[in-house]
Amino acid sequence: MIPEFNRLSTTEIELMLKGPILACILVAGADNHIDNKEIRGSIESVRNKQKKARDSSLSKFYLMVTEDFEDKLKVVLQNYPVDAKRRNELIAEELKGLNSLLRKLDKDFSVGYYRSIKDIAIKTAESSGGVLGIRSVGEAEARLVNLPMIDDPSKY
């Protein structure tokens, strides 16, 4: 297990592990349609996070997250309503729960987690091509891509 998680309960650890998946579903489903490009973009982004983090705790975290990411995403998605508006409300509320957890953790880890989860959201949005094509972000995704429900831990 990751040493930073020693202060967290099992439920809290599960939310931390679920965070990147929730960010992916939130942004990918913002336009009421989650396509395979968005899922592949999320998977690629998460794998890149694990490789770039090297031997850090964040690398170990993303190693756990990347394991069966697509299957986990599909299982998590099944637990939410099909209606995008209602699903996004529930996911946003769940992501807010990360705020109290990030305050409990080492600041460097929290900041790295926060930045990486935002990057996953951006890569997910860009992967579908948006309205104009390559690396553009659609209007519905643009409202959520910065994950406004999660506070920046570098500011506290």
pLDDT (tens digit per residue) in 110-153: 999 999 899 888 888 887 664 445 556 667 777 888 999 999 99
Place of tokens 């990057």: 119
List, in order, residues 6 or more apart from 83 with CB less than 8 Å away.
none
What span, in angstroms and rounded, lies between the C-alpha atoms of 36 and 41? 8
pLDDT in tens, the chain (156 residues): 788 899 999 999 999 999 999 999 999 888 887 877 877 777 787 777 666 766 678 888 888 888 888 889 889 999 999 998 999 999 999 999 999 999 999 999 999 999 989 988 888 888 766 444 555 666 777 788 899 999 999 998
CA atoms within 13 A on the CB side of 42: 32
Of the candidates 23, 27, 7, the residue with the CA atom closest to the CA atom of residue 100: 7
- In 3D space, the residue among 2, 3, 8 whose CA is nearest the CA of residue 102 turns out to be 8
* Mean pLDDT of all residues belonging to the chain: 86
